[in-house]
């Protein structure tokens, strides 16, 4: 049966996030073993985060270690998720930077000058910061052993806030 991963995105109020594509594992059967969606593969989850180009964001991925059978919580499918991001203004997997761990701080648009300097100018009548978009790519594996048939689920949270 199918595996369901519910995604929720938590975003600071002045940021905007959309889910461009769901992460979709193929249908698997008991004993199939390791099933992988690699970075750049079809089925990879893609999220777009838009906000003030002068600011950095922090992204935190919180994922369960297992998908759980909806009728029998003792039945588990191990799950291992990772993410990468592209912050050059285009949805281009070739520009993705792989994140080590479950969180990353990065510039919404990569600045040649490196990290932000002094606090940015607040929006006002004479200054409106540009809104730019960074892309977050979610990928990973699940390991299907000798388990009961049925639907398995889990909830993955991706939190984004200005840093």
The reported pLDDT for the residue numbered 90 is 94
pLDDT, position 145: 93
Residue 13 is predicted with a pLDDT of 56
Identify whether the C-beta of residue 132 lies closer than 8 Å to the C-beta of residue 110. no
What is the rounded distance in angstroms from the CA atom of residue 123 to the CA atom of residue 112? 22
**Reported pTM:** 0.86
CATH of domain 3-114+128-162: 2.60.40
Tell me what pLDDT residue 40 has.
Answer: 95
pLDDT digits (tens, 9 = 90+) for 41-79: 999 999 999 998 888 899 999 999 999 999 999 999 999
Residue 120's pLDDT is 72
Q: Are 96 and 86 in contact (CB under 8 A)?
A: yes
Whole-number pLDDT of residue 7: 62
Partners of residue 149 on adjacent β-strands: none
Q: Flag residues of the chain having pLDDT under 50.
A: none
Asked whether 57 and 78 are in contact (CB, 8 A), the reply is no
Quick one: pLDDT at residue 115? 62
State residue 17's pLDDT score: 87
């Amino acid at each position: 049966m199918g595996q369901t991963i519910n995604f929720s995105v938590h975003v600071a109020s002045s940021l905007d996030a959309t889910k461009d594509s769901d992460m979709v594992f193929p249908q698997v059967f008991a004993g199939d073993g390791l099933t992988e969606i690699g970075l750049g593969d079809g089925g990879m989850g893609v999220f777009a985060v838009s906000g003030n180009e002068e600011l950095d964001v922090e992204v935190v991925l919180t994922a369960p270690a297992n998908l759980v059978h909806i009728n029998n919580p003792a039945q588990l499918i191990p799950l291992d998720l990772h993410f990468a991001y592209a912050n050059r203004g285009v949805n281009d997997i070739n520009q993705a930077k792989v994140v080590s761990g479950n969180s990353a701080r990065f510039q919404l648009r990569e600045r040649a000058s490196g990290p932000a300097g002094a606090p940015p100018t607040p929006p006002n009548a004479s200054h409106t910061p540009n809104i730019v978009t960074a892309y977050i790519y979610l990928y990973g594996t699940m390991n299907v052993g000798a388990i009961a048939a049925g639907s398995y689920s889990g909830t993955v949270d991706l939190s984004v806030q200005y840093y």
